[in-house]
Structure 1
Amino acid sequence: MRIDRFSGEPFPRSAHPFKRIAVIGAGAYGTALANVAAQGGTEVALWARRADVADDINRTSRNHRYLPDISLLPSIRATTDLRVALGDADAALLVVPSGAVRDVARAMKPMTPAGIPITVCAKGIEAETGFLMSQIAEDELPGHSVGALSGPTFATELAAGHPSAATLAFTFDQTDRLDPENSAAARMAVTLATPAFRTYLSDDLVGVEIGGAVKNVIAIACGMMSGAGFAENTRAALITRGLDEMKALAEALGGRRETVTGLSGIGDLTLTCSSTTSRNMSLGVQLGSGLSREACFGGKPTVVEGEANAKSVTDLARKLSVPMPICETVRSILHDGDPIAETFAQFWSEPIESEPRAMSLTFEHPTSSANSPVPKEGVT
């Protein structure tokens, strides 16, 4: 038996899962997480905004609108009533789009049981305030411990039982450090633990959330270059330098660069930048191939988180004087109407820099933007 060298207690420690949780949001990811939690025997109430989605889940044990290929455990009960969903819940997962987090959290306030922990599963930065998603929840739901779940987890794969992992972050106060097995982080981690899904704990809430917000913007950049006809070298370079932008912003906000090299940073970044299953990557590919924004996704209105975050991330970075050239490139294309070819050419001919920050060297690039790589013919 292994013994914890700090406490003298047997290692690993044991934590008790929550008996009943509310999952607020019945989109693909919320439904997937509800199914994961139910696999461990946790009682799950799933709140859906749409009555037809809630009825479908209760009647067929499927969410045909958002997760059609997955059979859900019949123990999951869906409802459109927040009061019913939250009821006597021991904990809640807030799994709505980033733009809806404030409104939904505000609606939850009068009916959320006192003191229960809230785990935010949305990724982004609020445009008006520069708040991370957990900060919005803390603002609207005072008196609750708020954490974040983030990592490389496509909803369909998670729900289908493909081995997956994510980072679960909560701020650890003194009580949590002295009694970690009863912390919100540990209890939520074991609540979501299945043979195929595992979480890693972190006390760096800022670092975890920055990874989730910035990776969507970098994925759009990778998609644009892939759609324009470039190959793996280009994507690898954007992922790597995008990771550096993540680290810089996280550090400026008090997070740790180390956190961004974990699942919530490079893990999620690699996944999102590698597959058109990601709407962010898919949007970039379509734009890079020459489609107008209106024509993307077959002309259907589609929310792409990185599209709004390209502006909110760079707004925050500018306030903190953090250079984020890839994110700025995406912003200028999406929000300022700049052409893809010339804008990326300008990025590629930026001054030459040292990669280790400690060297602090910068040299003028010898080529003009006119001689830098441009997308295939027809892309503007």
Structure 2
Amino acid sequence: MDQEPIPPEFGIVGAGAWGTALAQTLARAGRSVLLWGRDATLVRILNSRRENTRYLPGIPLLEGISFTDRLSEIAEARHAILLVTPSQGLRSACLHLSPFLDPHRAVPLVVAAKGLDAESDQPLSALVKDLIPAHPVAVLSGPNFAKEVAVGLPAAAVIAAQNVALAEKLAEQIGSSSFRPYASSDPLGVEICGAFKNVLAIACGIAQGRHLGDNARAALITRGMAELMRLAKPLGIQTETLVGLSGLGDIVLTCNGLQSRNYTLGIALGEGMKLPDILAQRRSVAEGVYAAAALHRIGLKAGVEMPIVAAVDSILAGHAGVEDVIAKLLARPLKREI
């Protein structure tokens, strides 16, 4: 009699660059992983070539990874399910995954996207909790470029959950010698930082595209941190999160690296390209495009002044041109730094 296949330890929803990189690092740590892709053609390529030719070309995928286009198989994961869709696709993914999940088994759901829900401005973990309430939810974030993680270069991340014991358990299960997750009890802070750094990276890219120099980028990063700190106070975000991996760490990476989709999108805007033309040329998603308006609204609701976020939002929405926004920022009255 044939034995039933053993369910994977980890399921991953989303076969883009980051989902594939996380599958790779879990397999490198000896975990069994099932990677789900929405596109059946891509899944066939993954199975036949063991390479994500669309999002991570040239990187052989490890034997511990299997591939599927059936969410019902992902729901059988034993340790955790990682949700690695773009932020604007997470609601749909949860609605399609939910019927297959066993509420009595309550496998943890780990949000590994960086953004906010465009419909409600909610953090993504809150959205998942609303849609799939029987399952514990955690957040994975940090300064990680997918290609470097996929090939096994050293990286660190943060796993946050309101129940820090859950975060610690997941960190143990996911971690390896090349991928070091640190536990946190501040999921809201981790998610706000993850959304904010993408918007700030667009601003830094615009400055680079306009050839404003390294000094301008350093000033933007510093004043961006000031905006983030102001927003953190009314939201109850921990100071340690702001200067941790998901905060300062990810800001340093995303606002300076040419692997950053948001930074390079900002460069293209600064060079004069129109947003629809930039997006039409790209397969991957720059989350800051969707996060800017939501963060602007969150800041207004909290009574917090966020001029850089507002400036990026106005450019992306087509309400102002790059030159006008730069002139307006430079004309702001001088204040005390702190």
Is TM (by shorter chain) over 0.5?
yes
The answer for the alignment partner of 1:97 in structure 2 is 86
Change (3 A) 1:162 1:130: same
Counterparts of 1:1-20 in structure 2, within 5 Å, are 20=9
Q: Secondary structure at the match of 2:122?
A: coil
Comparing 330-339 and 115-124, the one that deviates more: 330-339
Provide the rounded CA distance (Å) in 2 between the counterparts of 1:301 and 1:57: 17
- Give the residue type in structure 2 aligned to 1:58: N
The answer for the alignment partner of 1:351 in structure 2 is 333
Residues paired across the two proteins, number: 330
Change (3 A) 1:299 1:22: closer
**Cα shift at 1:294:** 3.5
The answer for the alignment partner of 2:227 in structure 1 is 245
Provide the rounded CA distance (Å) in 2 between the counterparts of 1:125 and 1:85: 24
- Give the residue type in structure 1 aligned to 2:170: M
Change (3 A) 1:302 1:96: closer
Of 124, 127, 130, 2:115 maps to 124
Q: Tell whether 2:161 aligns with 1:155.
A: no
Provide the rounded CA distance (Å) in 1 between the counterparts of 2:166 and 2:127: 19
The answer for the alignment partner of 2:291 in structure 1 is 309
Kept after mapping to 2: 8 A contact 1:34/1:46: yes
**Cα shift at 1:107:** 1.3
Of 65, 78, 86, 2:75 maps to 86
Change (3 A) 1:263 1:288: same
Change (3 A) 1:88 1:154: closer
Kept after mapping to 2: 8 A contact 1:207/1:251: no
Q: Secondary structure at the match of 1:352?
A: coil
Kept after mapping to 2: 8 A contact 1:118/1:147: yes
Change (3 A) 1:342 1:137: same
Q: Tell whether 2:24 aligns with 1:42.
A: no
State which structure, 1 or 2, has the greater radius of gyration over its C-alpha atoms: 1
The answer for the alignment partner of 1:375 in structure 2 is none
Provide the rounded CA distance (Å) in 1 between the counterparts of 2:284 and 2:167: 33
- Give the residue type in structure 1 aligned to 2:144: T
Change (3 A) 1:40 1:244: same
Q: Tell whether 2:305 aligns with 1:323.
A: yes
TM-score in terms of structure 2 length: 0.93
Kept after mapping to 2: 8 A contact 1:147/1:168: yes
Provide the rounded CA distance (Å) in 2 between the counterparts of 1:97 and 1:321: 29
Kept after mapping to 2: 8 A contact 1:248/1:257: no
TM-score in terms of structure 1 length: 0.83
Counterparts of 1:1-380 in structure 2, within 5 Å, are 20-114=9-103, 115-172=106-163, 183-296=165-278, 299-300=281-282, 303-356=285-338
Q: Secondary structure at the match of 1:283?
A: helix
The answer for the alignment partner of 2:4 in structure 1 is none
**Cα shift at 1:153:** 0.3
Change (3 A) 1:64 1:299: closer
RMSD of equivalent CA atoms: 1.7
**Cα shift at 1:199:** 0.8
Provide the rounded CA distance (Å) in 1 between the counterparts of 2:193 and 2:10: 26
